[in-house]
Amino acid sequence: MKLLILGFVAILFIGCQQDPSLSNKTEESNIDQQVEELLAEMTLEEKIGQLNQYSGFMDFTGPQPNKGRTAKKLEHIKNGKVGAMLNVHGVDNVRAVQKMAVKESRLGIPLLFGFDVVHGYKTISPIPIAEAASWDLEAMRRSAEIAAEEASASGINWTFAPMVDISRDARWGRVMEGAGEDPYLGSQIAKARVKGFQGEDLSKTNTIAATAKHFAAYGFAEAGREYNTVDIGTSTLYNVVLPPFKAAVDADVKSIMNAFNVLNGIPATGDKFLLRDILKDKWNFDGFVVSDWDSVGEMVAHGFAEDGREAAKQAAIAGSDMDMESYHFVEELQSLVEDGEVDEELINDAARRILRVKYELGLFEDPYKYCSEEREKETLYNPKFRADVLDIAKKSIVLLKNQNDILPVKTSGQNIAVIGALADDKTSPLGSWRIGADDESAISVLEGIEKYDQNKYTYSKGADVVTGETQFTRELKVNTTDKSGFNDAISIAKSADVVIMVLGEHGLQSGEARSRTRLDLPGVQQELLEEVYEVNQNIVLVLQNGRPLALPWADEHIPGIVEAWQLGTESGNAIAEVLFGDYNPSGKLPMTFPRHVGQVPIYYNKKSTGRPELPSPGEVFWSHYTDEQNSSLYPFGFGLSYTSFSFKHLIIENNHSDDGTVSVSVEVSNTGKRKGKTTVQLYLQDEFASVTRPVKELKVFEQVELDPGESREIKFQLRDKDLGFYNNSGEFVVEKGSFKVYVGEDSHADLSGEFQL
Ligand code: NOJ
């Protein structure tokens, strides 16, 4: 009761303020005061309780080491020994569990309810790597906003997103969940997504706390194998891995999740250098750090902590504030404090951080604020969201090849054969993180294209991609043998004007614990493609996948290739609009597509070697492969349009010594016959530096839509933040010397100029 009154007083007080910045400060100091008053009332056991998070009663986002603990979990909630839950969702469930905490625990502190609302809750947006291909920050912000609106209507107040891990390794299944390989693009997207989830005001009922994860370097797992060791140098850590986290912190993200991996010998969950020195001290992060699922306990398997007690001690000292599902905080911290092994101030600090977020969400004023049945009913799957998820889905599609203008396909009079199991799939396009959404809730490609009803369509599956179980936590069986559907597919292809083949990965073949050693079309799909090609070469290949694939044969033979990822609820509609030309594709790859898996890690912002070029024909001693080119199949930033663009008149004005800016302008023209949008990308090379710099780094971009024949001047201003880099001591430095500027439509941009600092 006391807590509710305090909250009420806070509202009255805030309501009297005029100046909004003043009112924010007042609100903050009010919250700080409330947190301190509450902390003073709490026992050590209750404070530790705030640091404990349990999964709900369906442990579906991690292994289940603690089966049969349900009764204990319930008892702990009632005893104030739990601060947050995950995987409890739906108004009825959340209300029931919240009630236990609020009504039965001594202080009635409300729980946080976390869930992996990664790219939608019920209405599903494209998987994050697909959205990143849109390069449209506002559309991504909106996508996260919709996710927050739906999830919050279902009782959830905290999401474990965005994943901001940079990765250069397509074998790693979780690249589907990130923004790709580039730290600048990744940072911009991190900000947009945090803003989308959290909004301007966290206390609103339709905004939720966000989590930037996984801190840090999870995307650099050796050999792309999930949960594997990471060993990277300081230059990569500071310049590539950390910037998106910093951007999320600057955008006021409320929590950060530990990574499962060891980073340079120290498990991230127990890494004081990462959590305290960088995150909390250097960056002043004032939210809280949540472990990943049992990542506290996993420090034993890593060979870092001898047992659960030692793991809890190391994690707490390092700066992990909340323990997800390992039980070690709740079981060990009290005696660790009593025995003088962990300073009680660290527990206070962690509890303070968690309580602050609860106050900011407004949970003390109304613990059931996300629990309105009526709102839940009217919000979930509300048709009003569909236009926006369709918009981002279209923008996420990348046109990879369009020989002889095979695309767009005519909207009438065509006999079209549609082939591939994924064409008829209404679940796979929802992607791997769609645990809140219902199976079969996506528009399939077939459904989308059949709306263009002036053509004649025939469909044949050809071959399954996977067989058997598609449950989230189970391994999928790839179809490597059954080709019984090939003949049927070949026979419909023979008489077709155009063949649309929808091939790729099932939605659950990427994501957590879905690493692959190959980047080809799984199973018998490549054979199917080649056999259909034998009878009809007029093929448009629509790819659905959660990672870059290496498809050199398709690139050489197939005239039309469309990268359509897993695009969520509106998938089929978005694909159809692109195929038939109602939407002119504008997506640009956020990650390099290799020619062969053996090139991985392959990324555009690489360093030069000492022997980068072939010195003379036939020479062997230079940096290359003897059996494959060095170059990618499709570079970072690449994507075609149904029109074409040209770039000219690059002008660089160097005013750095006067006002600290270097201005770059370029004229962009639409040289084709259709209206279209491109993304103007500016890359920089700091040619000589005290720590070597990449051959190119994306520094800024802008999207521009032009009518046929129209030209526009695009201007960029570079400042120190764009010109400098982190040295190996983690200091940001801007060094004098020569810089090269490249502007264009992808990372092969060759319109270039130079300036000196
Ligand atoms: C493990 C994943 O690594 C993490 O990203 C996720 O948020 C948690 N499980 C909770 O489901």
Q: CB–CB of 254/203 below 8 Å? A: no
- Atom index in ligand 1 nearest the CA of residue 61 equals 11
Task: Using the mean position of ligand 1's atoms as its centre, give its distance from the Cα of residue 711 in Å.
Answer: 46
Q: CB–CB of 4/365 below 8 Å? A: yes
State the average pLDDT over residues 190-209.
Answer: 98
pLDDT at 68: 65
Residue bearing the CA closest to ligand 1, atom 7: 160
Same domain, 532 and 579: yes
Same domain, 496 and 541: yes
Summarize pLDDT for 585-612 with one digit per residue, the tens. Answer: 999 999 999 999 999 999 999 999 999 9
Q: Is 650 exposed, middle or buried (0-12, 13-18, 19+ CB in 10 A)?
A: middle
Of 59, 116, 325, best ligand 1 pocket probe by most atoms within 8 Å of the beta carbon? 116
Question: For the chain, what's the residue count?
Answer: 757
pLDDT at 29: 82
Structure confidence at residue 3 as a pLDDT band (50, 70, 90): very low
Using alpha carbons, select from 365, 530, 505, 526 the residue that is nearest to residue 1: 365
Examine the residue annotation and report whether 292 is marked as an active-site residue of this protein.
yes
Same domain, 550 and 663: no
Residue bearing the CA closest to ligand 1, atom 10: 61
Summarize pLDDT for 279-326 with one digit per residue, the tens. Answer: 999 999 999 999 999 999 999 999 999 999 999 999 999 999 999 999
Residue 629 within a domain: no
Distance of CA 206 to the CA centre of its chain: 21
State the average pLDDT over residues 221-246.
Answer: 98
Decide whether any atom of ligand 1 lies within 6 Å of the 165 Cβ: no
Q: How far apart are CA 681 and CA 667, in angstroms?
A: 13
Angle at CA 396, nearest 5°, toward 205 and 249? Answer: 45
Residue 613 within a domain: no
Q: What are phi and psi of 404, to 5 degrees?
A: 50, 35
Same domain, 394 and 374: no
Task: Using the mean position of ligand 1's atoms as its centre, give its distance from the Cα of residue 100 in Å.
Answer: 25
Q: Which of 358, 378, 398 is the last residue of a domain?
A: 378
Residue 405 within a domain: yes
Task: Using the mean position of ligand 1's atoms as its centre, give its distance from the Cα of residue 633 in Å.
Answer: 32
pLDDT, averaged across the chain: 95
Structure confidence at residue 20 as a pLDDT band (50, 70, 90): very low
Q: Which of 566, 599, 632 is the last residue of a domain?
A: 599
Task: Using the mean position of ligand 1's atoms as its centre, give its distance from the Cα of residue 472 in Å.
Answer: 13
Domain count, the chain: 3
Decide whether any atom of ligand 1 lies within 6 Å of the 512 Cβ: yes
Q: CB–CB of 538/558 below 8 Å? A: no
Virtual torsion, Cα 532, 537, 538, 544, nearest 10 deg: 50
- C-alpha neighbours within 13 Å on the C-beta side of residue 394: 20
Residue bearing the CA closest to ligand 1, atom 3: 292
Decide whether any atom of ligand 1 lies within 6 Å of the 293 Cβ: yes
Same domain, 316 and 212: yes
Task: Using the mean position of ligand 1's atoms as its centre, give its distance from the Cα of residue 422 in Å.
Answer: 27
Q: How far apart are CA 619 and CA 609, in angstroms?
A: 16
Virtual torsion, Cα 533, 536, 540, 543, nearest 10 deg: -30
Asked if the model's pLDDT at residue 7 lies above 50, the reply is no
Decide whether any atom of ligand 1 lies within 6 Å of the 215 Cβ: no
Helix (H), strand (E), coil (C) string for 344-395:
HHHHHHHHHHHHHHHHHHCCCCCCCCCCCHHHHHHHCCCHHHHHHHHHHHHH
Same domain, 506 and 418: yes
Residue 610 within a domain: no
State the average pLDDT over residues 21-30.
Answer: 70
Structure confidence at residue 41 as a pLDDT band (50, 70, 90): very high
Residue 626 within a domain: no
Asked if the model's pLDDT at residue 472 lies above 90, the reply is no
Asked if the model's pLDDT at residue 10 lies above 50, the reply is no
Decide whether any atom of ligand 1 lies within 6 Å of the 269 Cβ: no
Same domain, 684 and 735: yes
Both tokens of 607, joined, read 């360093």
Asked if the model's pLDDT at residue 5 lies above 80, the reply is no
Decide whether any atom of ligand 1 lies within 6 Å of the 159 Cβ: no
Both tokens of 403, joined, read 């020989």
pLDDT at 66: 57
Q: How far apart are CA 634 and CA 587, in angstroms?
A: 13
Decide whether any atom of ligand 1 lies within 6 Å of the 184 Cβ: no
Decide whether any atom of ligand 1 lies within 6 Å of the 115 Cβ: no
Using the 8-state DSSP alphabet, how is residue 640 labeled? B
Q: Which of 127-141, 458-472, 701-715 has the lowest mean pLDDT?
A: 458-472
Which pairing describes strands 158-159 and 725-726: parallel, antiparallel, or unpaired? unpaired
CATH number of the structural domain spanning residue 54? 3.20.20.300
Residue bearing the CA closest to ligand 1, atom 4: 292
Q: CB–CB of 590/129 below 8 Å? A: yes
pLDDT at 69: 80
Decide whether any atom of ligand 1 lies within 6 Å of the 59 Cβ: no
CATH number of the structural domain spanning residue 684? 2.60.40.10
Task: Using the mean position of ligand 1's atoms as its centre, give its distance from the Cα of residue 293 in Å.
Answer: 6
Same domain, 231 and 127: yes
- Atom index in ligand 1 nearest the CA of residue 214 equals 5
Task: Please name the residues in contact with 380: beta carbons below 8 A apart, sequence gap of 6 or more.
Answer: 121, 122, 123, 150, 153, 154
Q: CB–CB of 260/291 below 8 Å? A: no
Task: Using the mean position of ligand 1's atoms as its centre, give its distance from the Cα of residue 257 in Å.
Answer: 9
Residue 457 within a domain: yes
Asked if the model's pLDDT at residue 204 lies above 80, the reply is yes
CATH number of the structural domain spanning residue 594? 3.40.50.1700
pTM to 2 decimal places: 0.96
Decide whether any atom of ligand 1 lies within 6 Å of the 116 Cβ: yes
Same domain, 425 and 447: yes
Same domain, 443 and 565: yes
Q: CB–CB of 212/161 below 8 Å? A: no
Both tokens of 130, joined, read 């697909």
Distance of CA 196 to the CA centre of its chain: 13
Using alpha carbons, select from 361, 356, 366 the residue that is nearest to residue 30: 356
Same domain, 90 and 120: yes
Give me the domain span that covers residue 573: 388-599
List, in sequence order, every residue forming a beta bridge with 667; answer none if it has no partner. 648, 713
Summarize pLDDT for 91-106 with one digit per residue, the tens. Answer: 999 999 999 999 999 9
Render 118-144 in DSSP notation, one character per residue: SSBSSSBPPPHHHHHTTT-HHHHHHHH
pLDDT at 14: 33
Asked if the model's pLDDT at residue 169 lies above 90, the reply is yes
Decide whether any atom of ligand 1 lies within 6 Å of the 321 Cβ: no
Of 59, 165, 292, 294, the catalytic one is 292
List, in sequence order, every residue forming a beta bridge with 85; answer none if it has no partner. 54, 113
Of 53, 88, 164, 512, best ligand 1 pocket probe by most atoms within 8 Å of the beta carbon? 512
Residue 630 within a domain: no
Residue bearing the CA closest to ligand 1, atom 11: 61
Virtual torsion, Cα 41, 44, 50, 52, nearest 10 deg: -170
Which pairing describes strands 725-726 and 732-733: parallel, antiparallel, or unpaired? antiparallel
Decide whether any atom of ligand 1 lies within 6 Å of the 174 Cβ: no
Same domain, 274 and 396: no
* Cα separation values, 392 from 140, 175, 573, Å: 7, 19, 12
Residue 636 within a domain: no
Host H or E run for residue 463: none
Task: Please name the residues in contact with 437: beta carbons below 8 A apart, sequence gap of 6 or more.
Answer: 120, 121, 122, 123, 124, 430, 569
